[in-house]
Structure 1
């Protein structure tokens, strides 16, 4: 994929723009305890990146209880939103400077998040980065959760760009798989260490943090300018 085709950057929110993952995990742990269950790491990884409605169905199926998924999600939402009503929303390092850079370079910017419209807008506004984005694609707007590419295709349609001209920046495997199947340019910034086997298999660019990806984009643009 030639860098000259890139016109837009579509970001996941939790774990990519905002450091909400630790609180989200705490919220799920609290929610599991409320129904006398324990959240193990394998289950947490299985629900990571999914929409809350999809997680609800998954957990009801996992525990063979049609009501337990909804109960867990309701308790998780209560804990999560109560926490951020009273506490600061942390923007991850390098995000603000990168958004400033992309805005000045006239990239189109969007957020594609599994969170609901209400929750995502609340967090982005409280973090004071909502104004950078031209479009939003919320989990509450789509039928199919990641790894289905619907949420990314919805964002691309709102930006009026082709998938092949947009980076998708994700921290979850399900998001990267969705980006690839949708025809986007996947950029993987995992919460933990980069899985070399995964990046090799799916042929995606991986970076240790947003600052590293920012540097890559600057270098790519500089190289393109020299070649013109």
Structure 2
């Protein structure tokens, strides 16, 4: 049985992890910091507080996180304003299928609400989800299960009847800890042995999720 599908956002619905990666590098360079891929990979799926802590630990107490991040955000928003919202393949097909089945949907993202609203507005998907839970609304960030449990609560769904769509290791761990079914659609991070046993499924695109949901719908 399946009652609800919970979406991560960055790197899952929208091709923004790569955009943010380049934005961090550009902003770091302007402020005199070498923002490598390894540094950015380390906080994929983390909320703002965790990202701040990890970067400050890496660069030292003099690191002006707020200034660098503000430049990164401004750069990324300008790219989206100029080029449009980069959607992941299969997103609209999957959302249409879910609407046809009257399944409840939520976004559970470590990002702030202003990013969710900006992205959804530029993708013209502002009314496509029944609930939105952001990282600043829960006590613990992924890999803790808090954000997914909150989403299930707002959807009035039992965790065991929820499928979570994720691209990050922290997100997969959080979904598993919440007692849900994690399906990984890899983005920047490939599957690794540590998360493989936690997966209910793994597909290459969001449209590939539909057969998994169809099988659950028949169960």
* TM-score (normalizing by structure 1): 0.88
SS in 2 for 1:131: coil
Contact 1:167/1:184 (8 A) holds in 2 = yes
Contact 1:137/1:155 (8 A) holds in 2 = yes
| Aligned 1:61-76 pairs, distance under 5 A | 61-65=57-61, 67-76=63-72
SS in 1 for 2:42: helix
**1:153 maps to 2:149:** yes
* TM-score (normalizing by structure 2): 0.91
Q: Following TM superposition, by how much is the alpha carbon of 1:203 offset from its aligned partner in structure 2, in angstroms?
A: 4.2
- In structure 2, the partner of 1:39 is 35
**1:25 maps to 2:9:** no
Question: Which structure's relative contact order is higher, taking Cα pairs within 8 Å and 6+ residues apart?
Answer: 2
Q: Following TM superposition, by how much is the alpha carbon of 1:180 offset from its aligned partner in structure 2, in angstroms?
A: 0.8
**1:137 maps to 2:133:** yes
2:54 to 52, 58, 68: 58
CA distance in 2, matches of 1:219, 1:157: 24
SS in 2 for 1:132: coil
1:113 to 109, 115, 120: 109
**1:195 maps to 2:183:** no
Q: Following TM superposition, by how much is the alpha carbon of 1:39 offset from its aligned partner in structure 2, in angstroms?
A: 1.9
2:174 to 174, 178, 182: 178
- In structure 2, the partner of 1:169 is 165
Aligned residues: 219
CA distance in 2, matches of 1:130, 1:82: 20
SS in 2 for 1:124: helix
Q: Following TM superposition, by how much is the alpha carbon of 1:81 offset from its aligned partner in structure 2, in angstroms?
A: 1.9
| Residues 193 and 137 of structure 1: CA distance in aligned 2, closer, same or farther (over 3 Å) | closer
SS in 2 for 1:130: coil
Contact 2:48/2:110 (8 A) holds in 1 = yes
Q: Write out per-residue CA displacement over residues 155-197 of structure 1, whole angstroms, 9 at most, x where no aligned residue.
A: 1111111211101100000100011111111111111585362
SS in 1 for 2:27: helix
RMSD in angstroms over aligned alpha carbons? 1.9
CA distance in 2, matches of 1:194, 1:40: 18
CA distance in 2, matches of 1:93, 1:131: 19
| Residues 87 and 140 of structure 1: CA distance in aligned 2, closer, same or farther (over 3 Å) | farther
Q: Following TM superposition, by how much is the alpha carbon of 1:105 offset from its aligned partner in structure 2, in angstroms?
A: 0.5
Which protein is richer in helix relative to its size? 1
Unaligned runs of 5+ in 1: none
CA distance in 2, matches of 1:70, 1:49: 19
